[in-house]
Amino acid sequence: MSCQAETSLVETSFAPRVRDRGERLPDCPHCGDMLVAPDISMFDGQDADGRGLVRHVWSCESCGERSETAVLVVH
């Protein structure tokens, strides 16, 4: 019998706040604390127009919830 943790991802479209040193980091959509670095980043391919999507999966160190952001990359 395997024990597997269930994780639900919440797709968000929140804009990152500019930090003191000009860093652009998102806030946790669940508790509002700053997210430091994504757990996973992945590139979801490229279309004929040269656009691609980069997805980031984040875990909040404060509340433990997970969330996902996506960035459109245009060449």
**pTM, to two decimals:** 0.62
Residue 15 confidence class, pLDDT cut points 50, 70, 90? low
CATH architecture for residues 17-74: Single Sheet (2.20)
Tell me: the pLDDT tens digits for 31-51?
999 898 999 999 988 877 878
Query: Does residue 25 have a pLDDT over 70?
Result: yes
With b for 16 or more beta-carbon neighbours within 10 A and e for fewer, the 45-57 pattern comes to eeeeeeeeeebbe
Quote the pLDDT of residue 30. 93
- Where is average pLDDT lowest: 5-9, 15-19, 44-48, 60-64? 5-9
